[in-house]
Amino acid sequence: MQVFDDVSQIPADFGPSAVTIGKFDGVHAGHRAVLDALEAVATRQGLVSSVVTFDRNPLSLLNPAACPESLTSGEKKLELLAAAGVGATLVVAFDRAFSELAPEAFVSRILVDGLHARVVFVGADFRFGARGRGNVDLLTELGRAGGFEVRQIPELTAGEGHARRASSTWIRELLEAGDVVDATIPLGRRHTIRSTVVHGEQRGRELGYPTANLNPDIEGFIPRDGVYAAWATVRAGRFGAAVSIGNNPTFEGVPQKQVEAHLLDAALDLYGGPIELEFVDYVRPMNRFESAEALAKQMRADEDRIREILGVPRP
């Protein structure tokens, strides 16, 4: 996938293209339905499937108090877009100057002159340009003059019994509740976070459960505090893992939202290396135990349950 950080980077002979525009936070099931439709049209018409997205959530500039935490990092978003088969992505710097760009200038500069769009996919509530002045009707009108067709994206609903539009908001609600299983419905895959491994207090090692402590600068939305069954991917491969999120109330002075992973059947030097955690199921909340021994006993029970969930028998 080609990635452009500015419209000026797009080659003069690029395209023509089929384009969709959005934040694409999480690149969830709804997004991928759009990308599948985009790819189908691009293939039929000999176009480059292209995405216009942003380097941050526009609300972080326009209304910071209302800006939600991102489900994925910008880097992860690009990886997911590439995996979905997108041919090119333009990552627009959503700064003050861009936020004040007139709708007509957005269309001419990015869609017509930059991406040479022939088809543009947008949702029914799509807004663009300064103060959200542009809408689907205006985009359609500008498309006639600019040589592209506008197609509206149908909403994708998911869930049994209580179908709901697949959205980043729904996914956040589920993750905030620790429901990593149901989050796979709108997300279309298991939720992941990633970071690097740093030195911790070695308490897990003393209890017989050494853990990889994640650098607090974590990419991705951190689920509710608790213990989870997960898969951990590190340089040495993929391993079953018991993941703890929270401040571990059994001990004093543990930072809030600390994330630790005990890799099953692996004795590895992970310090300084990357780690990605793929959440499979919620096991229990974070509880305070009367002693380290009581905690160690619970951790053994947690390991048994996590091995059962992941299908990883004891060696």
pLDDT in tens, 132-168: 899 999 999 999 999 999 998 877 666 555 567 889 9
Which has the minimum average pLDDT: 115-119, 257-261, 308-312?
A: 257-261
Considering only residues 244 and 297, tell me which one the structure prediction assigns the higher pLDDT: 244
In terms of DSSP bridges, do strands 258-263 and 212-214 run parallel, antiparallel, or are they unpaired? Answer: antiparallel
pTM here? 0.88
pLDDT at 201: 61
pLDDT at 159: 58
pLDDT at 99: 92
Q: Work out the pLDDT band at 113, boundaries 50, 70, 90.
A: very high
pLDDT at 222: 96
192 has pLDDT over 60: yes
pLDDT at 257: 74
pLDDT at 47: 98
**In order of start, what are the domains of the chain with their CATH numbers?**
2-156 (3.40.50.620), 190-310 (2.40.30.30)
pLDDT at 123: 87
* CA-closest candidate to residue 38, choices 81, 76, 94: 81
- Mean pLDDT of all residues in the chain? 90
Considering only residues 157 and 115, tell me which one the structure prediction assigns the higher pLDDT: 115
Considering only residues 315 and 5, tell me which one the structure prediction assigns the higher pLDDT: 5
pLDDT at 205: 52
Which has the minimum average pLDDT: 24-28, 166-170, 175-179, 292-296?
A: 292-296
Which has the minimum average pLDDT: 129-133, 153-157, 200-204, 297-301?
A: 200-204
Q: Work out the pLDDT band at 77, boundaries 50, 70, 90.
A: very high
pLDDT at 162: 55
